[in-house]
């Protein structure tokens, strides 16, 4: 495994890294006040913190609710960003039962940490992981289309996605009238 400071090209310096592949870097907030933030794969102990953050945004209709047992069962899909050991962001990469497709799910960032690049870093971590797994395309169903467009995702008709992805939709409060937009990012090969 590469040292954690190689996870993102834009990281100017790596203060510390550990064997789990996580990294810690400086961030400047205002007037040069520095705080430390760490991006890493989630662990079982993180499930309740991820659940609280997702639930907060689900109540505001920004993401779909995920039951706590879903988070436990899919904990290996999640990346988290922490600050002072508190989860301030999370995002999941879920490989679909097709050889070249994965989905980004449950991207959430603490409301006090918006516009600081945390969501972008979480998505970039998922993209890098997808590339390492050999995934060629990543799609997202989202209420916040513009965020993903800025990251290079392109609009895609939902009916072009494989039927397997709709297994989650049955449990959605919006089923069968989906209100999310579908977008896709090609990270290798043709689509």
Interval 85-104: pLDDT, tens = 899 999 999 998 766 899 99
DSSP 123: H
Number of H helices, E strands in the chain: 4, 9
Q: Is residue 124 part of a domain?
A: yes
pLDDT digits (tens, 9 = 90+) for 116-157: 999 999 999 999 999 999 999 999 989 888 999 999 999 988
Q: Is residue 191 part of a domain?
A: no
- The reply to whether 127 falls in a domain is yes
CA distance 177 to 44: 33
How high does pLDDT run on average in the chain?
A: 79
Residue 28 belongs to some domain of the structure: yes
- Does 29 map to a domain? yes
Backbone angles phi, psi at 118, to 5 degrees: -70, -45
Band (pLDDT 50/70/90 cuts) for residue 36 is low
For residue 100, the enclosing domain spans: 4-186
Instruction: Give the integer Cα–Cα distance in Å for 185 and 65.
Output: 24
Alpha helices in 26-175 (DSSP H): 47-59, 68-73, 118-133, 145-150
* Residue 179 counted as domain residue: yes
- How many domains does the chain fold into? 1
The angle subtended at Cα 96 by Cα 125 and Cα 55, nearest 5°, is 65
Nearest to 147 by CA among 125, 172, 114, 186: 114
Inside any domain, residue 61: yes
β-sheet bridge partners, residue 84: none
List the CATH number of the domain containing 73. Answer: 3.40.630.30
Q: Which residues of 61-82 are buried (b: 16+ CB within 10 A; e: fewer)?
A: eebbbbeeebbeebbebbbbbb
């Amino acid at each position: 495994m590469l040292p954690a400071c190689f996870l993102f090209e834009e990281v100017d310096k790596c203060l510390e890294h550990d064997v789990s592949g996580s990294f810690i870097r400086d961030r400047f907030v205002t007037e040069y006040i520095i705080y430390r933030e760490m991006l890493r794969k989630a662990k079982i102990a993180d499930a309740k913190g991820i659940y609280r953050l997702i639930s907060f945004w689900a109540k505001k209709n920004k993401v779909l609710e995920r039951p706590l047992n879903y988070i436990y069962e899919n904990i290996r899909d999640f990346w988290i960003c922490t600050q002072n050991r508190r989860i301030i962001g999370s995002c999941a990469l879920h490989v679909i039962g097709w050889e070249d497709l994965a989905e980004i799910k449950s991207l959430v960032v603490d409301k006090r940490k918006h516009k600081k690049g945390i969501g972008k870093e979480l998505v970039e971590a998922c993209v890098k992981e997808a590339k390492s797994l050999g995934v060629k395309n990543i799609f997202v169903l989202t209420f916040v289309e513009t965020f993903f467009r800025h990251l290079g995702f392109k609009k895609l008709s939902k009916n072009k996605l494989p039927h397997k992805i709709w297994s989650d939709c049955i449990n959605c409060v919006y089923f069968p009238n989906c209100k999310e937009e579908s977008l896709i990012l090609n990270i290798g090969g043709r689509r």
